Amino acid sequence: MLDVKRMVMLRDLAEHGKVTVVADLHRVTPSAVSQQLRALEAEAGAVLVEREGRGLRLTPAGAALAGACEPVLAALEQAEGAVRALDAGPVGEVRIGCAPSALATVAAPLLAALAPRHPLLRPRIVQADPEEAVPLLRQRRLDLAVVYAYPLLGAPPASGTSAVPLFEDPLCLALPEALLPTYERDGLAALREAEWVGAPAPSSCREMLLHACRNAGFTPRLAHECGDLRAGLWLVATGRAVSMLPKLMCDAPPPGTVVVDLPGPGRTLEALVRAGTEAQPAVAAVLAALTARAGR
């Protein structure tokens, strides 16, 4: 019988390509990862990895086994859900990752909605951008994550996950009042010489800014990096910077800053779960509360 935890390590090696990254994900040493992979080879009766320079690469047998991992994990999650469905109701801790920009509008109302309906459920909110939340979800350190995606970027969904769309969040342009007439006359291209505030890489918000500006015929000069784009509005208020950010983060612009809606699609807020967990009572309760809130 193949060990599932070892299969997950093989899957992660297939995805990330480095034993050190797999070790960090599983909180073990690289030598422990190598030992687990050798044990998996013994279980499978096949060579799964081979040396390539200073690293490892998957053999055809290893790639085939790694590709079979996600359906196995989803089936195990469904089996656990069938057992939990026999409980009286959702109980215990449920760990919910949430993008910082959605804490006030999504996470806080979620806690308020869950408390009277499921008193034995203990929701735990963990602030995490999608780049952080997805690995935590796949490693079972989160049960659900409220994330966002930019459809125009065309990024595929993370393997082994299922997304439930919640609502659309338009993109906005934040600029000093003095630049508004120029922008209204010439559009985004009028800001080609401006200093831009952008999120640090890697970030889909940063990629969306680059995408939008390049579509307008220029590459923006990212003079400032700000992990909290809402706080970056104060840089715009100095009159020396402009920014592009979701509307959820523009609720209270500082004096001297103008916020205008940008045409076209922005981002989609989604609830992301591991495939197969949708029917688990705790996860289902959170999804029901989120979709009810989104519908309103």
CATH of residue 234: 3.40.190.10
Distance CA 7, CA 66 (A): 7
15: confidence class by pLDDT, cuts 50, 70, 90? confident
pLDDT at 67: 86
295: confidence class by pLDDT, cuts 50, 70, 90? low
Q: Which of the 8 DSSP states describes residue 254?
A: P
Residues 218 and 291 in one domain: no
| C-alpha to C-alpha distances, 220 to 93, 257, 264, nearest whole angstrom | 44, 19, 19
Residues 159 and 177 in one domain: no
The arithmetic mean of pLDDT across residues 39-55, rounded, is: 85
User: Domain range holding 96?
Assistant: 90-168+271-295
296: confidence class by pLDDT, cuts 50, 70, 90? low
85 occurs within a structural domain: no
Residues 162 and 190 in one domain: no
Residue 55 in this model has a pLDDT that exceeds 90: no
Residues 257 and 180 in one domain: yes
73 occurs within a structural domain: no
Residue 186 DSSP SS3: helix
**CATH number, position 13:** 1.10.10.10
Residues 160 and 23 in one domain: no
Find all residues with CB under 8 Å of 173, minimum gap 6, and list them. 183, 188, 242, 243, 244, 259, 260, 262
Residue 176 in this model has a pLDDT that exceeds 90: yes
Number of domains the chain contains? 3
72 occurs within a structural domain: no
Q: What does the pLDDT look like over 21-40, one tens digit per residue?
A: 888 888 899 889 888 888 89
